[in-house]
Structure 1
Amino acid sequence: MAKRLSNESPIGDVLKEFIEVNKLQSGMDKIDVQKAWKSLMGNGVNSYTNEVILKGSTLYVSLSSAVLRQELSYGKQKIIVMLNEELRKEVVKEIVLR
């Protein structure tokens, strides 16, 4: 059973408690990673991005351009660092470009 918060708790604390109690953090991470990808990669990359899926700590990105996929493969580690900095925690440990 969840601990009871006082009636005067900030909404942020209530939401954090709700997410923690109901084990929703992994779902929130999936959404946050998709938003971070869109904001960090810009319109050029996003126009060729079909899918961004987080499974565990591996990010699967489906691209429609083989040339772009090759170019991004050279900077995988930098992309991982940028995403984790944007999310303010280590969520992504590996990227698979398809």
Structure 2
Amino acid sequence: MAKRLNNQSTVGDVLQQIIKVNKLQPGMDQIDVKDAWSNLMGNGVNSYTRNVILKGGTLYVELTSSVLREELSHGKSKIIKMINEELRRDVVTAVVLR
């Protein structure tokens, strides 16, 4: 049974407790990473992005352009750093471009 929070708890604290108790963090990370990719990469890259999936700490990005895939492969460490900074915690440890 979940721990009862006192009446002075903020809505954010209550939501964090619900996420923790119900083990919803991986799903929340998946949504946050998709949003971060969309915000950071802009319309040019997003138009060639077919799918963004987070499994464990690995971000799988499916692209429709082989030229863009090759170009982005040179900056994988920068992509990891940018996404983790956007999320304010280390979520992504590796990037696989398909």
Task: State the TM-score, normalized to the length of structure 2.
Answer: 0.98
Provide the rounded CA distance (Å) in 2 between the counterparts of 1:9 and 1:77.
Answer: 38
Gaps of 5+ in 1: none
Pair 1:13-2:13 in alignment: yes
Q: Secondary structure at the match of 2:59?
A: strand
Partner of 1:91 in structure 2? 91
Q: Secondary structure at the match of 2:61?
A: strand
CA RMSD of aligned residues (A): 0.6
Question: Runs of 4+ in structure 1 displaced over 3 angstroms?
Answer: none
Gaps of 5+ in 2: none
Residue identity matched to 2:71: E
Partner of 2:77 in structure 1? 77
Cα distance per residue 1:5-58 (max 9 Å; x no partner): 123321000000000000000100000000000000000000000000000000
Partner of 1:67 in structure 2? 67
Q: Secondary structure at the match of 2:90?
A: coil
Q: Give the count of matched residue pairs.
A: 98
User: Deviation of residue 86 (structure 1)?
Assistant: 0.4
Q: Which range moves more in the overlay, 3-12 or 41-50?
A: 3-12
Cα distance per residue 1:66-96 (max 9 Å; x no partner): 0000000000000000000000110000000
Provide the rounded CA distance (Å) in 2 between the counterparts of 1:66 and 1:17.
Answer: 43
Partner of 1:46 in structure 2? 46
State the identity %: 69
Q: Secondary structure at the match of 1:5?
A: coil
Residue identity matched to 2:2: A
